[in-house]
Structure 1
């Protein structure tokens, strides 16, 4: 999976951090960052997989995006600042501008804290 390329770069700098990739196939929205950080448009996407460091998205291949944008996961109000890492047709690999907090990742995955203690 292409998200592993993002992880390979980050593992060296953050050896104690987990970069487990989770397949979620969940709808989301991409909001480009425009002039003066404006966010006038929003486009739908499908979030194929996610980790604490990035995600793989399926998005319209004809859509032109700036290098930086926000990712919103359907049903979760927070926006995640992203940077494009690699694009191949409809597949877009993004790196998050900061690592996702473990609790937030659990929320995205629909897990409760007890789920990964068992």
Structure 2
């Protein structure tokens, strides 16, 4: 049960990553080609002593195959917040730095 609690805490810590900025002033733009890569995921085991004190020990790694899709990326600023969005190639080509970018209504991830 303690192993599940430790794993759950680690997953919650990672869930907070990322930006919520999806519209704003375009400050930069670039193109990132699609790529396949391998992430080596550590495997941990909780080892607890007789007093209930537990430590995490890495016991190995497993390869996890990853794929990053092509991204026509716009870097955005909205007030003091910054973020990035991937858009289609046509939107990227017609958008210039200092333009205001607003995603089309009903289009997720644009």
Superposition TM-score, scaled by structure 2 size: 0.24
Answer 1 or 2: which has greater strand percent.
2
Which structure exhibits the higher relative contact order, with contacts defined as CA atoms closer than 8 Å and separated by 6 or more residues? 2
Superposition TM-score, scaled by structure 1 size: 0.23
Task: Indicate the structure (1 or 2) with the bigger Cα radius of gyration.
Answer: 2
